[in-house]
Structure 1
């Protein structure tokens, strides 16, 4: 059974906890889910560690922001071309080849650290290649899911992926903070090299996933065909637009090193706590996502979730403003512990980010479901490519937005960005009423 089945969603039983039926219904989905979760922990560990290492070398928040900015254009190309590959070839093979590249890049990042090169330019290059490979993996993996489970289980599968993402973003960054502070960067990267092998296990065990329907060779015509489809698909298009707004103006992660070293204190451990707090909120939301499967007005749910997200990011900005108003701690060290931190401010910041993570997770569940249910299989790779570019590229544009404002010595980016999100989403909700009326029982692109 695939997402093209005409069977409408069955009435969901009232449940509080996440629906585990997708794992029981499809062993292939279960294996891929487990492999993605384990390897994702390592990926998040490296992402945080690279940011910490670059900040340790340069003492520049803007230099940390450039990690995402430099890889943005290559990621866009990879998402678009990777989507065309997924619509033209066996999606399992496409994902497997990209995983080989990602694993090799991670090993080179570890080698760079063991050799003590401290070469920021090389770190930028390696993380860019890794981001490109990860984009193709995610594009292929997400376009595979609707082929493994029935349409009615897509919201539950998205919630399970939210749990996976929450575990990754909770364990990975927290582990990165502890490992960097205790055993250094080299050992931290090596842990990722080992954990990444789980990705191979999850992909290799999949059956062949050949695209259904008309197959087009990768190239300009295939890309234009996807563009024309998206142009006449307002609901799918809106899932991209609203997420771009949320991620561009609501991703304060590049501030975390300076928060840990200057504003709140606690060094690398604080960076791990703040990053993990966001993931904890997403994880708890997914664990208690049972009733989300009963929501039919999924477009309206996306709008409200992103408005809540903006409000939470603004609240995080207020915490930083209050901490700054209390007086600067001076230039601290990323290796200092929580004993040096302003614990009430850290707790308040963590709560705001946890709430933001929960709201973002609700939005993600329904945006994924809308895309996977409303898109025909022959277009899923290209649309998932665009989706992957949006969800990974948007935060990188946000890194630039925050990095530029932070370079001016201000902590206003989260407060300003959160307010912009609320205003812009409210405006779009009025301009695109069909998205508010989107009905899960009758998915239309």
Structure 2
């Protein structure tokens, strides 16, 4: 073997890693790095609450429908406050909005902790706390995403999105597994306590951010008109007129609307989380809860860690539709198998597909002008967080009328079919590429 061939062989693994490993360049920016760390720690704690709430509701009511209702009850405040929160993010210093909304989320977690410590076992009280937390989340989430282009360079936005999705899903693995150990041993109050303690890290990270007022940066001629209209509505108002301007901007962008539609179909029809407590109780045993709740995230993390190729895909519309089809079929397979390991494996595959579609959908939105990003992110999070809540209600209702297996499998198949139909009916979705503005 020649020296040149030997050197080439030594370089090949390094080149492969560079092409396929996750892009960590955004972490070079100190402000982004701090908020990334804060989100990573707080996401882990939030997962303890995400598991504890439906399991506690099921323990109180012994009803899959109630689990679905508990998820659904936060939908209205989520939609209202996501859209309004997006307008707030476009009108005020985004650091201050992020700090206030994060504090509100922390206080609702303390409320859940208090009711668990006092053993109130009141499902209606829990519904009220869930609604309040959804309202705070609705304000917080659009701001958290809208600040990303201000913290990293424009060429690193897709990579920052991938990092964010990956770390949140990594937390969604460890968090549910940890909750599955903590709740049986120490009760629901311990799970809420873990969340409350860890959420303080994101408060610290937000305090360390610089001031982040909307820049009102100019874009293409097509978007300058909306920029002028937005500015004429008055910075700092965040009123109905500002919300209306954002919605009119959205109505004129068919591709964005289609990314919302395909995500709603995937989540409403195929999200099976409301069935996890039922399936654990009736089929796999209590110890399976952590694995079931972390299964989607396992696949998303694996996809994220090998996501170097995502930014190089040219036909992103085809990749997006294919990912949603893969999500639906994998969910259906997970519901049909009788073994826990196979169920987790198929849900992990579904999670990988969901992460890929999420990156492309978010990248479309962050290409919008800065003065519109908050409002578009508000609608996005109303869709992203509202869809699974509707999906929980659908899954729980159908399971109560039929059984958990039918609800799970039929939903996955329906999501895959609808994704194919949307791609066939609206070619603009399939024509979405890396060059689409």
CA deviation digits over 1:130-157, x for unaligned, max 9? 1211221111010000111122212211
Match of 1:69 among 67, 72, 96: 72
Q: For residue 354 of structure 1, what is the aligned residue in structure 2?
A: 348
Question: Secondary structure of the residue that 2:56 maps to in structure 1?
Answer: helix
Q: For residue 316 of structure 1, what is the aligned residue in structure 2?
A: 334
With normalisation by structure 1, the TM-score equals: 0.88
Q: Is the 8 A contact 1:277 1:353 kept in 2?
A: yes
* Segments ≥4 residues shifted beyond 4 Å: none
CA deviation digits over 1:33-83, x for unaligned, max 9? 110111111111111101111111111111111111111001100101000
| 1:269-280 correspondence to structure 2 within 5 Å | 269-280=287-298
> Does 2:251 align with 1:231?
yes
RMSD of the alignment, in Å? Answer: 1.4
Q: 1: CA distance between counterparts of 2:18 and 2:298? A: 24
Q: 1: CA distance between counterparts of 2:139 and 2:205? A: 15
More helix by share: 2
Q: Is the 8 A contact 1:249 1:414 kept in 2?
A: no
> Does 2:282 align with 1:256?
no
CA deviation digits over 1:203-232, x for unaligned, max 9? 111111111224442222112211111111
CA deviation digits over 1:279-317, x for unaligned, max 9? 111011101101111112222211111011011011012
The CA deviation at 1:409 is 3.6
Q: For residue 307 of structure 1, what is the aligned residue in structure 2?
A: 325
Q: For residue 16 of structure 1, what is the aligned residue in structure 2?
A: 20
CA deviation digits over 1:10-34, x for unaligned, max 9? xx9951210100111x211111111
Residues 315 and 223 of structure 1, relative CA distance in 2, 3 Å threshold: same
Q: For residue 330 of structure 1, what is the aligned residue in structure 2?
A: none
With normalisation by structure 2, the TM-score equals: 0.90
Q: Is the 8 A contact 2:77 2:138 kept in 1?
A: no
Question: Secondary structure of the residue that 1:412 maps to in structure 2?
Answer: helix
Q: Is the 8 A contact 2:64 2:397 kept in 1?
A: no
Q: For residue 372 of structure 2, what is the aligned residue in structure 1?
A: 379
The CA deviation at 1:172 is 1.2
Q: 1: CA distance between counterparts of 2:97 and 2:436? A: 28
Name stretches of at least 5 consecutive residues in structure 2 with no aligned partner. Answer: 1-15, 217-229
Question: Secondary structure of the residue that 1:89 maps to in structure 2?
Answer: coil
Q: For residue 408 of structure 1, what is the aligned residue in structure 2?
A: 401
> Does 2:376 align with 1:391?
no
Residues 202 and 296 of structure 1, relative CA distance in 2, 3 Å threshold: farther
Q: 1: CA distance between counterparts of 2:322 and 2:273? A: 23
Q: 2: CA distance between counterparts of 1:68 and 1:223? A: 26
> Does 2:93 align with 1:90?
yes
Q: For residue 79 of structure 1, what is the aligned residue in structure 2?
A: 82
Q: For residue 184 of structure 1, what is the aligned residue in structure 2?
A: 187
Q: For residue 128 of structure 1, what is the aligned residue in structure 2?
A: 131
